[in-house]
Amino acid sequence: MLEDIDLDARLIRVRRALQRQRGAGLVFAEPKTARSKRTIPLPDQIAEVLRQHQDGQAKERIAAANLWRGSPCVFTTPIGTPVDPRNDYREFKDLLAQAGLPSVRLHDLRHTAASLLLAQGVPARVVMEILGHSQIALTMDTYSHVAPEVSREAADRLARVLWQDSDDRDEGRGDS
């Protein structure tokens, strides 16, 4: 929702989800759990892309004129209605094919982001909060495959802290 994005502060608030419900069509629903409602910081680059998107959407609004429906969604159709998740998924699949990438689920991007964050040393608790998991055990169980890489990096960092000073002293001694 437009009101849930603060581009100046580079924050996005997750408070609702667009879902297809039988008999009701597309509706805004509460997230599954209380933890699912969260505020996520945005990288500068994404905030900039969203600003550009808003500019493009303003042009679409002008082009649509009387047809514009004025959805509160960030991403809309050219006439301002919410993007149907099924259409969004089809477009995602088309983009993958055009890029020559394997077919994956949209949800797999979430797994990739979490794995990359953990591999970069972001604390599991922070990843848990970004994902909206209710318990850290869920995050760790789901992304345990990243643990060996993170553990190796932790061991290497510990070695640098413990032995770097002694290596420097050994080099300074010099054998004559």
pLDDT tens, 49-64?
Answer: 999 999 999 999 999 9
Q: Facing residues of 174 across strands?
A: none
Instruction: Judge contact between 122 and 90, C-beta under 8 A.
Output: no
Please say if the pLDDT value at position 172 is more than 70.
no
| Final residue of a structural domain among 72, 103, 134 | 103
For the full predicted model, state whether its pTM sits above 0.85: no
Examine the domain organization and report whether 38 and 69 are in the same domain.
Answer: yes
Please say if the pLDDT value at position 176 is more than 70.
no
Cα dist. 162→3, 38, 80, 158, 172 in Å? 49, 39, 59, 6, 17
What token pair was written down for 84?
């149907």
- The beta-strand segments (E) located in 90-160 are none
Examine the domain organization and report whether 155 and 72 are in the same domain.
Answer: no
3-state secondary structure of 139: helix
pLDDT of residue 165: 62
pLDDT of residue 121: 82
Place of tokens 């805004």: 28
Examine the domain organization and report whether 55 and 128 are in the same domain.
Answer: no
pLDDT of residue 138: 84
* Domain housing 128: 104-176
Q: Which of 125-139, 142-156, 158-172 has the highest mean pLDDT?
A: 125-139
Examine the domain organization and report whether 130 and 162 are in the same domain.
Answer: yes
Phi-psi domain of 80 (left: phi exceeds 0; alpha: psi -120 through 50; beta: other): left
| Final residue of a structural domain among 103, 133, 158 | 103
Examine the domain organization and report whether 99 and 111 are in the same domain.
Answer: no
Examine the domain organization and report whether 32 and 67 are in the same domain.
Answer: yes
Percent above pLDDT 90 for the chain: 34
| Final residue of a structural domain among 85, 103, 121 | 103
Please say if the pLDDT value at position 153 is more than 90.
no
Long-range pairs of 135-140 with CB within 8 A, sequence gap ≥ 24: 139/114
